[in-house]
Amino acid sequence: MHADNWAIRAKQEGFRTRAVYKLDEIANKTKVLNKKQYVLDLGSAPGGWSQYVKKKSPLSEVFAIDILNMEALDGVHFFQQSIEEIDRIEAINILKEKFGLVISDIAPNLTGINAIDVENIYELNSLTLETANKYLNKSNGSFIMKTFQNNMLKNLRKKMELSFKIVQTFKPAASKKQSGEIYLYGAYK
């Protein structure tokens, strides 16, 4: 499917963003949405991934956080705060180690200066991984995170392998061919 077709399809199906099809492909391959669970969506705005989770797993309780505002979604608890502030959000903090799934489509603003962008991506991904490790259920939790192909990817993957039993890389069909974005999946079991 041509990249523009993903956006058209998202609009037709009532989704906020074409990114839902990236999550859809990974979720179908990894079977992460088969049960009722707590889901944490990091960097959630505009809300497409939270919306997708609620549609595919209506009994799951979704908690979303972003520094950008996100229009309300039925059944999604949204907090407009930085990921660094997550421990201060009581509704999320009391569920530490109880989340079955942590998802993150977050990316830093790119400067166009490769060395700076690569470092910013790595730092944000490391923070996201740290947050996932803190909030995921250690017996059966799963994690999906956007990152980019660059010279720090191998280090990031090694960090994930220290936390998760299973680590996989995905380049979903809905990702633009010219984009360096890829997704990492981690699972404790």
pLDDT one-digit tens code per residue, 133-152: 999 999 999 999 999 999 99
In this predicted structure, the answer to whether residue 3 has a pLDDT above a threshold of 70 is no
Q: Quick one: three-class SS letters along 92-132?
A: HHCCCCCEEEEEECCCCCCCCCHHHHHHHHHHHHHHHHHHH
| % of the chain exceeding 70 in pLDDT | 98
Which residues have a catalytic role annotated?
Answer: 146
Tell me the pLDDT of the chain averaged across its residues.
94
In this predicted structure, the answer to whether residue 118 has a pLDDT above a threshold of 90 is yes
Pairing of strands 38-42, 99-104: parallel
In this predicted structure, the answer to whether residue 1 has a pLDDT above a threshold of 80 is no
> In this predicted model, what pLDDT tens digit does every residue of 11-41 receive, in sequence order?
899 899 989 999 999 999 999 998 899 999 9
Judged by average pLDDT, the poorest of 1-15, 24-38, 174-188 is 1-15
> In this predicted model, what pLDDT tens digit does every residue of 46-66 receive, in sequence order?
999 999 999 999 999 999 999
> How far is the CA of 60 from the CAs of 12, 54, 76, 157, in angstroms?
24, 7, 10, 28
Name the β-bridge partners of 66: 80
Mean pLDDT, residues 79-101 taken together: 97
**Nearby residues of 8 by Cβ (< 8 Å), 6 or more positions away:** none
Contact in structure between 98 and 112 (CB atoms under 8 Å): no
Q: Residue 26 has which token pair?
A: 């990974």
- Quick one: how far is CA 185 from the chain centroid? 9
| CATH architecture type of domain 19-187 | 3-Layer(aba) Sandwich (3.40)
What's the CA gap between 133 and 85, in Å, rounded? Answer: 16
Mean pLDDT, residues 149-167 taken together: 96
